[in-house]
Structure 1
Amino acid sequence: MKKVTLETIKNARETIKDIINITPVLESTKMSEKTGANVYLKCENLQKTGSFKIRGACNKIANLTDEEKANGVIASSAGNHAQGVALGAKMNGIDATIAMPATAPLAKVKATKGYGAKVVLNGLVYDDAYAKAVEIQKETGATFLHPFDDEYVISGQGTISLEIFEQLNENVDTIVCPIGGGGIIAGVATAAKALNPSVKIVGVQTSNIPSMKESVKNGKVTTAFNANTVADGIAVKTPGNLTFDIIKDLVDEVITVEEDEIYQAMLFLLEYQKVAAEGAGAVSTAAIWSGKYQPKKDENVVCIISGGNVDTNTLYRVIDKGLVKCGRRFSFRTHIENKTGGLSQVTAILNELDANILDANMSKDKSSQGINKLAVEITIETFDHEHIAKIVEALTNAGFEIK
């Protein structure tokens, strides 16, 4: 008998209805124009605690026994489950301890503490935090709340699909959803396929940690880790057993996106949709914006923006990388004559080609060009890669060596 069904998801909705927000579904005109499909965003970044995780966490806490509640709860999390558990525990007067990776964004750590939970930092990714949580659980006897491999958690996350189908009057062809440990997509897929068996479910992971993609390919739960990722919310090296069983049966496709593609998606969402998404929340958009997933013409596609808990400093770096990648920011190094007006020829060319100078630094560089030359490093604002190519050509033709 299945542990997660449409019925358990409907029960979860009834349980958490007075706690969560019904998050909006927004049309993305830009992505619709780009793809020819009708692309929508399910904005769980606007959920309480800034992520979908509160759905599953609160459903799980509501189903604990009095004894389990009295023992206090412990959880492991990359950050969003932590906040959901912390808030849910606070609302029920339960002591909570959360193990998080030491690499978790400061904003997530601070928010979790702000909800009254004790935070223990350990390791680089979720799996390291999980190991620490298990260790603490054995010492204290606290009730462990798994972030994804739990029927109540998965059922809570599945309430997202119920909202999507209602908000779009059941006109849903495809749902594109992030995958880390698999909790959100397992719930979303269970509800969506029960409501419409022909709906397509596409999962997205970062290529740096493609654990579920590898698991599906190998037919068994597989550990995979290549490098750290800006998508910390889905940085799970080993997915769940329960989630894998659901995903292998109900998810139609699992694809991966690169870090640069996530940066560009975060920038796109912020600039064109006015949506602040964390890396994990942006991977669904990255899949479409990059062309990794290409919807059919007139298809109704929903991208789940799973969270918006992005650290401000991280967002600043992501914007910079995103602008560079799409050709809207360019930095170069050259040499000018060490005399009055030495820089003016460079700035004149940039001005003529409508490039805005954001930053310029000069220093003597005796080793490579002699005492009569100055090294100058300039960062400019540009329109696109074609614009950059014209600028480089003009400067090169004027005798400047560009690096």
Structure 2
Amino acid sequence: MAVTHDDIVAAAARIADGVARTPSVQAGALAARLGLASLALKLETLHRTGSFKERGALNRLLALSEAERRSGVITMSAGNHAQAVAYHAHRLGIPATVVMPAATPNAKVMRTRAHGAAVMLHGETLSDSAEHARALAAERGLTIVHPYDDDAIIAGQGTAAIEMIDDAPILDTLVIPVGGGGLIAGCAVAAHALRPGMRVIGVEVEGWTACAQRLAGEPVQTGGATIAEGIAVRDIGERPFAIIRDHVERVLVVPERAIEEAIGLLVEEAKIVTEGAGAAGIAALLVHPALFAQRHVGVILCGANIDTRILANVLLRDLVRDGRLLRLAVDIADRPGVLADVAGRIAQAGGNIIDVAHQRLFAAPSVRTAELDLVVEARDAAHGAEILAALEGAAFRVKRL
């Protein structure tokens, strides 16, 4: 039986005391930059465990019988659903086991364990973890709390759209990340009931496009490394897919680079930290601007659980792409004072040297020369060109690496 709007309304009442009602904030500067009439960001990043997954997890756990509660639950997850189940199961006194892919980011593994669940790392993909979880469930008499292919999960996730439409009634488009499909399915049902003309658009990352492939009638092939591991799901859920087919306008595909750019844009323009999957909606606005021009768009930022090291690397790579970090190789004569001359000219041009290596043995063409490997901070790409010109004007041979 398909999930209905009444199911979502009932879920909203059921979970109200256990899950935060997250805000939808207007991002005016970001909307102007992206060519939108308005942009509302649904901050699912503010849940206790950092993602929307708490909605569906709690709704499903509250539906367990007393016998199922005593026996305990098991789930498979790349991280966010795992944390949600672990947190709310612990809060409700329900034993929980979580099976996670071996490559799950450390932050998500540690947080899941901290919430009291027994964590097992098994397999390369979520599908591998799911197979192992099903075997353990049969062996130990545990109830499976599926991440997305479950009506109670779908109904719980749909409560996000009810809140967002209530907070921002002007919206005409919702943009929602797609992994297993539970979030977009629930939100699409709610949007269709509350705003029949509203566009609901999904987003997948390249390499993990199970939903887009199935909608196109193509064989599903997925795989590859991605920063958006939260939506790197091999198969779309059958229950969500039936809803998506009827209620979702289209599912867009964005490249990995756009996900990274979106993470950086949210940090710089909106001061919001998201994980890769959480930034997928913004990535869609960057890659497909014509679809959203002058629309009133709502984007669900579905999670914030990103490793700090990965976040730091993404932000630095963003600076490189924007031309605000330059790596230069400068050929110099190997004599006193030349290094100071180069540094002085960069300083006069307004650049800031943040790293320098002085190579005499491995890069220099002559024993009387050396190579400087510099990382220089600039204001923007145009300023970087000015710094290069200042060095070249002083007869230094400069190569941008």
- The TM-score, its normalising length taken from structure 2, stands at 0.94
- Stretch deviating more after TM superposition (87-96 or 373-382): 373-382
Does the Cα contact within 8 Å between 1:264 and 1:323 map onto a contact in 2? no
- Stretch deviating more after TM superposition (25-34 or 184-193): 25-34
Which residue, 354, 366, 385 being the options, matches 1:358?
354
Aligned pairs for 1:342-357 (under 5 A) are: 342-357=338-353
Q: Cα–Cα, structure 1 residues 393 and 237, in superposed 2: closer, same or farther, change >3 Å?
A: farther
Counterpart amino acid of residue 17 in structure 2 = D
Partner of residue 276, structure 1: 273
Does the Cα contact within 8 Å between 2:331 and 2:396 map onto a contact in 1? no
- Any idea what SS the aligned residue of 2:49 has? helix
Q: Post-superposition, which runs of at least 4 consecutive aligned residues in structure 1 deviate over 6 A?
A: none
Q: Cα–Cα, structure 1 residues 327 and 211, in superposed 2: closer, same or farther, change >3 Å?
A: farther
Does the Cα contact within 8 Å between 2:41 and 2:300 map onto a contact in 1? yes
1:335 aligns with 2:331: yes
How far did residue 7 of structure 1 move? Answer: 0.4
Does the Cα contact within 8 Å between 1:260 and 1:325 map onto a contact in 2? no
Q: Cα–Cα, structure 1 residues 38 and 75, in superposed 2: closer, same or farther, change >3 Å?
A: same
Mapped to 1, the partners of 2:337 and 2:131 lie a distance apart of 62
Aligned pairs for 1:2-401 (under 5 A) are: 2-34=1-33, 35-168=35-168, 170-218=169-217, 222-292=219-289, 294-297=291-294, 299-366=295-362, 368-397=364-393, 398-401=395-398
How far did residue 124 of structure 1 move? Answer: 3.2
Does the Cα contact within 8 Å between 2:330 and 2:396 map onto a contact in 1? no
Deviations 1:256-296 (A, max 9, x none): 22222111211111122121111100111121134456423
How far did residue 226 of structure 1 move? Answer: 4.1
Mapped to 2, the partners of 1:353 and 1:257 lie a distance apart of 38
Counterpart amino acid of residue 144 in structure 1 = I
Does the Cα contact within 8 Å between 1:49 and 1:84 map onto a contact in 2? yes
Deviations 1:151-207 (A, max 9, x none): 000000000011011111x22200111111111000111100111110001111111
Counterpart amino acid of residue 377 in structure 2 = E
Q: Cα–Cα, structure 1 residues 349 and 237, in superposed 2: closer, same or farther, change >3 Å?
A: farther
How far did residue 335 of structure 1 move? Answer: 2.6
Deviations 1:335-390 (A, max 9, x none): 32222122233323322332221111222235651222223221122233333334
Counterpart amino acid of residue 278 in structure 1 = E
- Stretch deviating more after TM superposition (323-332 or 387-396): 387-396
Unaligned ranges ≥5, structure 1: none
User: What is the aligned length?
Assistant: 398
Does the Cα contact within 8 Å between 2:223 and 2:234 map onto a contact in 1? no
- Stretch deviating more after TM superposition (380-389 or 275-284): 380-389
Does the Cα contact within 8 Å between 1:178 and 1:185 map onto a contact in 2? yes
Mapped to 1, the partners of 2:223 and 2:383 lie a distance apart of 35
Unaligned ranges ≥5, structure 2: none
Mapped to 1, the partners of 2:166 and 2:207 lie a distance apart of 35
How far did residue 395 of structure 1 move? Answer: 3.4
How far did residue 224 of structure 1 move? Answer: 2.8
- Stretch deviating more after TM superposition (22-31 or 11-20): 22-31
Mapped to 1, the partners of 2:108 and 2:210 lie a distance apart of 23
Counterpart amino acid of residue 214 in structure 1 = Q
How far did residue 333 of structure 1 move? Answer: 2.4
- Any idea what SS the aligned residue of 1:160 has? helix
Identity %: 36
How far did residue 6 of structure 1 move? Answer: 0.3
Deviations 1:213-239 (A, max 9, x none): 1121117xx533241110111110111
Counterpart amino acid of residue 227 in structure 1 = G
Mapped to 2, the partners of 1:289 and 1:318 lie a distance apart of 17
Does the Cα contact within 8 Å between 2:388 and 2:398 map onto a contact in 1? no
Counterpart amino acid of residue 309 in structure 1 = N
Counterpart amino acid of residue 383 in structure 2 = H
- Stretch deviating more after TM superposition (34-43 or 7-16): 34-43
- Stretch deviating more after TM superposition (105-114 or 350-359): 350-359
Does the Cα contact within 8 Å between 2:3 and 2:151 map onto a contact in 1? yes
Deviations 1:226-257 (A, max 9, x none): 41110111110111111111111111121122
Does the Cα contact within 8 Å between 2:184 and 2:202 map onto a contact in 1? yes
Q: Cα–Cα, structure 1 residues 153 and 291, in superposed 2: closer, same or farther, change >3 Å?
A: same
RMSD over aligned Cα atoms? 1.8
Q: Cα–Cα, structure 1 residues 365 and 291, in superposed 2: closer, same or farther, change >3 Å?
A: farther
Mapped to 2, the partners of 1:93 and 1:326 lie a distance apart of 50
Does the Cα contact within 8 Å between 2:259 and 2:276 map onto a contact in 1? yes
Mapped to 2, the partners of 1:126 and 1:366 lie a distance apart of 45
